[in-house]
């Protein structure tokens, strides 16, 4: 304390009290330290997927069925929103594995096609049907057909043969034979070039043999799980050997279509048999300056087992200029069994 202030305090105690505010104002002010606020955070608890949910998803994945897996995953996401990341991880892994399997299968199929021999990779169907009637009339008839197909990377080959025979009261009433070979070259998934060589014999229509050749362009309009439809057209050459002994050659055009319509994926008839219905048909028309020919087949097929199918078909065979004594149009309804191999 200054000496003067000390003396004043001795002489006048009240002076010190009066001077104290001024004295404090002259003293330096010390800054107070700032203490930071302490914040404590705790991590969110980890939500572990219940084991029954995981087992349900893994069981669906083991089936390899995309639709079943998608349904189970959707249910798991709706009922366990805390485990969305884990559920999506399992689903994504399944989809990636399916894509890898599909890619590997496609590569294996392509390699098998490239390495297949001339007589390999053929698929076929054999068709047999018949009937017999006795009593006031005596009728017997049968139909047989064979069709084979080989599908390659760019090429497609089709072979077919058919025979129809019928006797009424001891006399032959129908005798028709047909054989055809049709190769195709695919330019794209829709456009193709075709060739056709066909043999026919039908003495009740007035010819012993009829040879037809054609080539042209075709287009695949539909190629889905339920509907297949392709069109084709091109020039044609035909040579006919009539039963009268004369021969006729002509140049014309060919137009045709081929379709298959799978009406139902499956229809259960009994406990252990399924029916797969498919309406299928084909039509080929030859047109030249002398006559026109239309061959139309429409059928309904019912699959009984993996290899056995029943078929009901209706055939129209029309010739616009038939020989003398022959009618222009023949029709036939067939019921037959088909075995695929």
pLDDT in tens, 134-145: 666 678 888 899
| Number of other CB atoms surrounding residue 6 within 10 Å | 11
Please check whether residue 177 is in contact with residue 198, taking contact to mean a CB–CB distance below 8 angstroms. Answer: no
- Local confidence band at 61 (pLDDT 50, 70, 90 cut-offs): very high
pLDDT in tens, 223-277: 887 888 899 999 999 999 988 889 989 899 999 988 888 877 654 344 445 555 5
The DSSP letter of residue 321 is: S
Angle, in degrees to the nearest 10, between helices 84-115 and 66-79: 170
pLDDT in tens, 147-175: 999 988 888 999 999 999 988 888 888 89
Please tell me the least confidently modeled range out of 37-46, 74-83, 127-136, 206-215.
Answer: 37-46
3-state secondary structure of 126: strand
For the chain, where are the E strands, in sequence order?
A: 122-133, 139-151, 155-168, 171-186, 191-202, 207-223, 227-242, 247-262, 267-270, 273-288, 292-303, 308-319, 329-340
Please check whether residue 318 is in contact with residue 288, taking contact to mean a CB–CB distance below 8 angstroms. Answer: no
**Residue range 62-86: average pLDDT?**
90
**Position with higher pLDDT, 153 vs 113:** 153
Alpha helix segments (H runs only) across the chain: 3-11, 13-25, 51-63, 66-79, 84-115
Domains observed in the chain? 51-105 (no CATH), 122-340 (2.40.160.40)
pLDDT in tens, 170-223: 888 889 999 999 999 999 889 999 999 999 999 888 889 999 999 999 999 988
**Position with higher pLDDT, 42 vs 294:** 294
Specify the pLDDT at position 169: 83
pLDDT in tens, 288-340: 777 788 888 888 888 888 888 888 888 888 888 887 777 888 888 888 898 98
Please tell me the least confidently modeled range out of 66-75, 109-118, 213-222.
Answer: 109-118
């Amino acid at each position: 304390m200054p000496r003067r202030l000390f003396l004043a305090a001795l002489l006048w105690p009240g002076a010190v009290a009066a001077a104290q505010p001024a004295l404090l104002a002259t003293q330096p002010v010390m800054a107070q330290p700032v203490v930071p606020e302490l914040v404590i955070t705790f991590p969110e608890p980890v939500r572990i997927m219940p084991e029954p949910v995981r087992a349900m998803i893994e069981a669906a994945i083991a089936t390899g069925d995309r639709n079943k897996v998608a349904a189970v995953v959707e249910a798991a996401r709706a009922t366990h929103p805390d485990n969305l990341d884990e559920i999506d991880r399992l689903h994504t892994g399944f989809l990636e594995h399916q894509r890898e399997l599909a890619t590997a299968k496609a590569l294996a199929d392509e390699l098998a096609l490239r390495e297949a021999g001339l007589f390999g990779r053929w698929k076929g169907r054999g068709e047999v049907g018949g009937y017999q009637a006795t009593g006031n009339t005596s009728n017997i008839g049968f139909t047989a057909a064979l069709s084979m197909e080989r599908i390659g990377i760019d090429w497609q080959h089709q072979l077919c043969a058919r025979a129809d025979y019928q006797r009424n009261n001891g006399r032959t009433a129908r005798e028709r034979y047909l054989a055809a070979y049709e190769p195709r070259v695919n330019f794209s998934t829709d456009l193709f070039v075709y060739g056709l060589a066909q043999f026919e014999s039908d003495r009740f229509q007035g010819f012993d043999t009829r040879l037809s050749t054609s080539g042209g362009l075709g287009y695949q309009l539909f190629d889905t799980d339920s509907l297949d439809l392709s069109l084709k057209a091109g020039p044609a050459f035909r040579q006919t050997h009539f039963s009268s002994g004369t021969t006729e050659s002509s140049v014309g055009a060919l137009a045709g279509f081929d379709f298959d319509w799978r009406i139902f994926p499956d229809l259960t008839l009994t406990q252990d048999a399924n029916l797969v219905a498919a309406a299928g048909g084909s039509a080929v028309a030859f047109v030249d300056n002398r006559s026109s020919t239309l061959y139309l087949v429409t059928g309904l097929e019912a699959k009984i087992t993996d290899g056995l199918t029943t078929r009901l078909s209706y055939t129209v065979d029309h010739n616009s200029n038939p020989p003398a004594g022959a009618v222009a149009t023949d029709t036939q309804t067939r019921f037959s069994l088909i075995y695929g191999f």
